[in-house]
Each structure stands twice: as C-alpha cells, then as structure tokens.
Structure 1
C-alpha cells in the first residue's frame, strides 16, 4: 500500500522534473497550476458569496468568519480573491488566444508570400506597435463603454504584432530549409506545408512568447480594472479589488488591497519566469 502511495506521489514529481529548469521554474509552474485550479473550482472553494456585504461588517479584520477580513462594503476578501481569479485569468486568456491565432495567421501569410505584401503588412504592424495596449483599451472603453469585451479585443489587436513578427521571422528561416522545398516539389499545397509542416516546428517558440504575453496582458487588464474601465462591481476582479481597497489602507485595514495586489504580482512573475525558461530551453541556453 505504501509503495502504491509513493508511486502516485513520485509520478507527478517525475513528470515535473522532466520539464527541465531549476527550482524557481518548477515553483512558478506549480503556482500557475494552483491558480488555474482555483479559477476552475472557485464557486465551490469560496466560503461566502463575494457579492454579498453589509456596511456594518465593513473593514473587519481577519477572523474565523472572514479569514482575510472584509473590504469597505463588507464583502469577504478571501471569497472575492478566489472568485476574482476567474475574471482575472479569463481576460488575459482571451487576449492571448486571439492575438496568438491572428498573429500566427498574419506571420505565416506574410512570410510565405513575401514581396510587397510583406512590406505593406510590416508597415501596418509598425503602426499598431506605436500604440500601447492599455491606451488602445481605454480608447475602446471610451467608444464602446465599460466592461471586458471591448478592452479584450483592443488588447488582442495590440498584442498581435508581437506574435506576427516572431512567426514571420521564424517562418522565413524555416522556409529556406530543404524539407520545405521537398514538400513543395512533391506537389503539396502552400497551406499544407505552412500549417502541417512548418508551424509545428516553430510552435514551441510561439508558445513561449504567448506565455510571457499572458503575464503582461493580465497586468494591463488589472490596471484597466483599477482605473474603473474594466470589470465592474459587484463582479470580483483583482484590479477592481485593489481600487476599492485604497480607502481601507488609509483606515488601517490594508488586506483588501494588498492581497489582490500580491496575487497579480505572483501570477505575472510566474508567467514571465515560465515563459523565459521555456524560451531559454528552446534556444539551448538551459541545461
């Protein structure tokens, strides 16, 4: 029996070691897995309804009923932190998915066609590069109203050039390799060669870049919610929680602002560490 238990424990640890990297990379990966699991099971993990509060319970300190105290509106900080994991991770995920898919399509198309198409698309990407993602998101809110849909689409457009430029550069290098010419001589279509043969070879590097982009997108969306343009109360969100907790800091109960801020920092750092580690391994700089 003990041998079976030891095998169950060693199995995941062995697979984790196989990913490579040092203890910091593994710790960050475990941290990201933990946050993802929390976001998936948030409704069952939150001990209280984070949208239910009362002025009489506002700014309460940590207790058996409220592990991290309450905010100014009497909402349970711990429950809001757990529920806020869903919105705080869902937004960046949508940004990364949209920007990665469109960036791959644009990068492959321009690399394969080349010529004036590559030049024109490259200049268009330069124009998008000139606008910070947060600025585009604020402009989208000004035009379409507050919420998450417009900012997510605006940020996805702002992040798309990063993936498109990376894919274009990698695809140009791969296109010059003999195996690409061999497939084309065999009569395979350009779509087949680009998507089924070239893309899998550059996919891991694109994944590493997307992992880093996720952390930056989370930070931008949290800043947008902090400014009051993103997720609107009473929906829990880490950025909005930091904004609402500013008054609590001045009144001596800083947990409602500090805890979500720490969560944002941990997730952003973890995604950057994992993304950089993956990029180093693919480049052969990690033993």
Structure 2
C-alpha cells in the first residue's frame, strides 16, 4: 500500500529542527560550537582539572611568571592563574545560564500569552514590556546589589528581569504570525483547547528561533556579569570568576605581569564571540529556510 500523504496536522513547520539544525553551517560555526563545548566541559570538570586550589595563595610565588608548576603564572596573591581560570569558568557560565533560563522561560510564557490573546491583553503586556525596556540590565543589577548585597544571586535575578522583554517581544511576534497558519486552525476546528494548541503545537515551531536568540543573549549576559564582577559588585573573592580575576590583576598588570588579566579577559571575549556566532548563524539559517 502507498503511504498516505501527510496532512496539515502532520506537516507542522519546524518538525525535526533539533536533528537538522546544526548540519548546514560552515567552519566558523563548528569552531565556535566546539569552543563552547570545551568551556562547558572545563566548567564541569574544573575541580579535577585544576592543578592547585585557586582559593589558596602562596606568598612565596607572588606574581610569578609561567613555569612547570604554574602554567600561566600567579597573581598578586600567589594564586595559580591557570587553576583560577578553570574554576572561574564554572561561576562565569553559571550566572549567564541562570539569566537566560529565567528570562527565556518567563519571556516565552508572557509572549505566548500576549500574541495568542491579542487585543487588550496584548496592549497591556506591551506597555509593561516598554517600561522594562527603559531600564538597562547593568543598572538593574547594580540596584539589586545595593538592595540585597554583593554576590551572584541578586544580579542574576535583576538581569533576568531586564532580559525578559527581549524574549517576550520575540515570542509575541512569532506567535502572532504562527497562529494564522492552517495547522493551527485545523487543530482548533477539531476541538482542541486553545491552550493545548498554543503550548503543544504552536510553541515547538517557534522554539528554534527563540533558542537562537537565547544563545546570543547568553553572551551578552556573560559580558554584563563579568563587568559587574570587575566593578567588585558580583562574585566575591576567594570564589574564582573571570571578571573578578581581571579586577584583581590590575596590580600585576602594572608590574609587567599581564597574564593574570589577559587570560581571563581573553576567555570572556572568546566565549561571548562564540555564542554570538552560534546564535546569529543559526538564526540566519532559520530565516533563510523560512523565506524559501
């Protein structure tokens, strides 16, 4: 027997995006993705990879140059720079992950509700998002530190709120376009609840674009949190963090020992650029596929 042609309900756009999504990209994308995977593995296995405890300094080796025992030298406190770099990957990536997860999940919920309902609901949510757009993420993070104290938790929550409008606006626009498609009407005609259609059928089709935007947001969140730690308002010593490492290495930089500052700064730049490349190229692929 000949297989029946897929119906409108079966041919939902975006099906299989996770399986096909990363296969059509060039060398730069693959290098960036490999670099990100490397940093993730380093963050996961840092306690076993670090040759020294980065929280314990040795005053006999203050601002020492690279050697067999200290591959990247030490800082002004005698801490091993290489070990601090490895351990710092954990806190430096964990903070942006919290920002992106919270802002993306909240933005998806708000944007899906706004785009699906439309009308007065959409207008009210739109005004609230406009107000949130007026507050820069770094300014909100500094305000959160002033209210709740230094650390990672308060800035992450504040920046997640600041990043929420970007995800919500994107999801709202995609939902407004997607809900006019034939497969959505077909599900509604069959008697499926609107909430079921929106969450179980419409949302998976816009998820690839939201993922691409979230990937770019991760890089920006990492940069903002590193800047906050550099100002001394984020992760506090002795917990290793790339932004805090740059701040603490200013003395070593003036003394002609730049590795303590250059290495964490290079790590921040590489990760931010890699996330931007992965997110933007994946988004470009989705846009090209939709216009064909």
Normalising by the smaller structure, the TM-score range is: over 0.9
Q: Secondary structure at the residue paired with 1:68?
A: coil
Structure 2 equivalent of residue 9 of structure 1: none
Aligned partner of 1:192 among 185, 188, 196: 196
Structure 1 equivalent of residue 275 of structure 2: 271
1:155 to 2:156 alignment: no
Question: Following the alignment from structure 1 to structure 2, what is the Cα–Cα distance between the partners of residues 115 and 16?
Answer: 36
Structure 2 portions without partners, runs of 5+: 1-18
User: Which deviates the most, 177-186 or 231-240?
Assistant: 177-186
Aligned pairs for 1:88-167 within 5 A: 88-167=92-171
How many residues of Structure 1 are paired with residues of Structure 2 in the alignment? 273
TM-fit CA distance, 1:55: 2.5
CA contact (8 A) 2:22 2:282 kept: no
Question: Following the alignment from structure 2 to structure 1, what is the Cα–Cα distance between the partners of residues 114 and 267?
Answer: 39
Structure 2 equivalent of residue 176 of structure 1: 180
Question: Following the alignment from structure 2 to structure 1, what is the Cα–Cα distance between the partners of residues 174 and 116?
Answer: 11
Question: Following the alignment from structure 2 to structure 1, what is the Cα–Cα distance between the partners of residues 187 and 22?
Answer: 33
Q: CA RMSD in A?
A: 1.6
Structure 1 portions without partners, runs of 5+: 1-14
> Residues 16 and 68 of structure 1: is their aligned pair in 2 closer, same or farther, counting only changes over 3 Å?
farther
Aligned pairs for 1:231-250 within 5 A: 231-250=235-254
Normalising by structure 1, we get a TM-score of 0.93
Normalising by structure 2, we get a TM-score of 0.91
Q: Which has the higher helix share?
A: 1
Q: Secondary structure at the residue paired with 2:239?
A: coil
Q: Secondary structure at the residue paired with 1:283?
A: helix
Structure 1 equivalent of residue 42 of structure 2: 38
TM-fit CA distance, 1:165: 0.2
CA contact (8 A) 2:46 2:86 kept: yes
TM-fit CA distance, 1:242: 0.2
TM-fit CA distance, 1:54: 2.5
Superposed CA offset, 1:135-161 (max 9, x none): 000000000000011000000000010
Structure 2 equivalent of residue 3 of structure 1: none
Structure 1 equivalent of residue 75 of structure 2: 71
Q: Secondary structure at the residue paired with 1:67?
A: coil
Question: Following the alignment from structure 1 to structure 2, what is the Cα–Cα distance between the partners of residues 150 and 72?
Answer: 29
Aligned partner of 2:262 among 243, 258, 261: 258
TM-fit CA distance, 1:18: 5.9
Aligned partner of 1:220 among 219, 224, 230: 224
Structure 1 equivalent of residue 32 of structure 2: 28
Q: Secondary structure at the residue paired with 2:247?
A: helix
